[in-house]
Amino acid sequence: MNDLHATVVGAGLAGCEAAMQLANRGVQVTLYEMKPHKMTPAHTSTDFGELVCSNSLKAKRVEAAGGLLKAEMQLFDSLCVKTAYACEVPAGGALAVNRHEFSAAMTRAIQEHPNITVVEKEITEIPDGVCVIATGPLTSDAFAQELQQKIVGSPLHFYDAAAPIVTADSIDMNSAFAASRYERGGEDDYLNCPMNKEEYEAFYEQLITAQRAQLHAFEKDPKVYEGCMPIEIMARRGADTIRFGPLKPVGLRDPRTGHRPWANLQLRKENKEGTCYNLVGFQTNLTFPEQKRVFGMIPALKNAEYVRYGVMHRNTFLDSPRLLNQDFSLKENPDLFFAGQMTGVEGYMESAASGILAGVNAYRRLTGQASLALPETTMMGALSRHIGNQNTADFQPMGASFGLLPPLPELIRDKKERYGALARRSLETLQSVLQYENLFVSDK
């Protein structure tokens, strides 16, 4: 038996990726997951890699930051990207999945790998040896206290929210129409719920005054992360804020009027059958009755039946620039790696990508090799530099963005062409690095 051994704590997207990267390189991995014995407030399934909020993994095209990130991850034989395409549901230009099929497939892949041993147990102490901690944004209280005691400085807290899901047959199709924004993807990938000016203004007034769910005493005045901000909090910034955000009508034309709506809510399929739809961008902390009342003011949702109401829950992330190196290892203990949202990457695929790099670098630590530092011209390299940037003040989570990449030597004014050139540079650079480092997993 191979005498290389590593521990991974947490079987979310990042933990599964880290475990797979190690196991595919011959390391015996012990993967600890506290489900099903202990569940978090946001989880409903006992499967691994559960998608708690949206079922969308962002854009597929490499000219979009999310698409480029997934293309880079595929060069590492990413388990999450491979599984996502196998469980894909129509979503225009985005990669969306049937979340239940996705998590079930992730679980099978991990459980069936001969080099991975799954232990269903809550970890309350940091394991010895080379270890990847990927306990996610809802790290258990006991383990969070362990991290706080053993690692200098307290973890930070912010709040995350999930959007509601409604049944397809309860949507009023006399008030809705099927179309993808800018005609990208299939015409029925999204259902659109338009509002005219009068309808929107009435909805807006009720939204900003609606009753929110009560928080516990220690949760007063929460620090809300911008990327998952509840729609009612965003709306309080101004009457047009959500019209230029989740309710933006651009790229759409209402076939009943022939004009662009004043405001428009998009609904995205939750499964291939199209029996359930997610309210895109409608993360919320309104009480359940208020969600039904206020969202029911949108004409297409006046009789909506909710499969799941929106919820809000506490998340945790580290002050990574101060605590972590760019290879996701702890500065004070290079045997200890962190991955996922707790490092301050924002988004499903960003979390999974950090798991890939933590897993690769944990393997290199085991074998006495130098850490893999990807160039900042790659999206994965840029994200890891954001995590390990000692000059970052008021550290906040960050998702994939072309703004993280250094500019091209030549000026390209057209944004699509510029993003395409940045993507080509990134992929060519990453391919060269992986070939030089002999890191193509497919060549194992």
Q: In this model, does residue 398 exceed pLDDT 80?
A: no
Please give the pLDDT value at position 443: 37
Q: In this model, does residue 440 exceed pLDDT 70?
A: no
One fold for 5-155+318-443 and 162-314: no
By mean pLDDT, which of 25-34, 71-80, 81-90, 225-234 is the weakest?
225-234
Higher pLDDT, 142 or 314: 142
Please give the pLDDT value at position 209: 95
Q: In this model, does residue 41 exceed pLDDT 70?
A: no
By mean pLDDT, which of 132-141, 184-193, 276-285 is the weakest?
184-193
Q: Residue 166 — φ and ψ, nearest 5°?
A: -120, 160
Using pLDDT thresholds of 50, 70 and 90, give the confidence band for residue 169: confident
Q: At what angle do helices 13-23 and 348-366 cross, to 10 degrees?
A: 30
Please give the pLDDT value at position 84: 97
What is the overall mean pLDDT for the chain? 88
Q: In this model, does residue 391 exceed pLDDT 80?
A: no
Please give the pLDDT value at position 216: 44
From the CB of residue 145, how many other CB atoms can be counted at a distance below 10 Å?
14
Q: In this model, does residue 46 exceed pLDDT 90?
A: no
Q: What would you report as the CA-atom Rg of the chain, rounded to the nearest whole angstrom?
A: 22
Q: In this model, does residue 338 exceed pLDDT 90?
A: yes
% the chain with pLDDT above 90: 64
* Lookup: tokens for 225: 């992360």
Please give the pLDDT value at position 320: 87
User: Quick check: 341 and 40 in contact, CB under 8 A?
Assistant: no
Please give the pLDDT value at position 221: 44
For 164, which DSSP code? -
Q: In this model, does residue 110 exceed pLDDT 90?
A: yes
Please give the pLDDT value at position 394: 58
Using pLDDT thresholds of 50, 70 and 90, give the confidence band for residue 315: low
By mean pLDDT, which of 25-34, 275-284, 368-377 is the weakest?
275-284
Higher pLDDT, 148 or 248: 248
Closest by CA to 289, choosing from 277, 306, 313, 266, is 306
Q: Give the Cα separation of 77 and 20 in Å (integer).
A: 10
Q: Give the Cα separation of 21 and 380 in Å (integer).
A: 15
- Average pLDDT estimate for 307-327: 83
Polymer length in residues for the chain? 444
Please give the pLDDT value at position 422: 96
Q: Which fold has domain 162-314?
A: Elongation Factor Tu (Ef-tu); domain 3 (2.40.30)
User: Quick check: 404 and 383 in contact, CB under 8 A?
Assistant: yes
* Lookup: tokens for 42: 């946001």
Q: Give the Cα separation of 209 and 195 in Å (integer).
A: 19
User: Do you find a cis peptide bond into 41, omega within 30 degrees of 0?
Assistant: no
Higher pLDDT, 218 or 106: 106
Using pLDDT thresholds of 50, 70 and 90, give the confidence band for residue 433: very high
Using CA atoms, how far residue 370 sits from 367, 377, 441, in Å, is 9, 20, 18
Q: In this model, does residue 219 exceed pLDDT 50?
A: no
Domains of the chain, by residue range, sit at 5-155+318-443, 162-314
Using pLDDT thresholds of 50, 70 and 90, give the confidence band for residue 218: very low
SS3 70: helix
CATH class of 5-155+318-443: alpha beta
- Average pLDDT estimate for 44-58: 86
By mean pLDDT, which of 61-70, 227-236, 377-386 is the weakest?
227-236
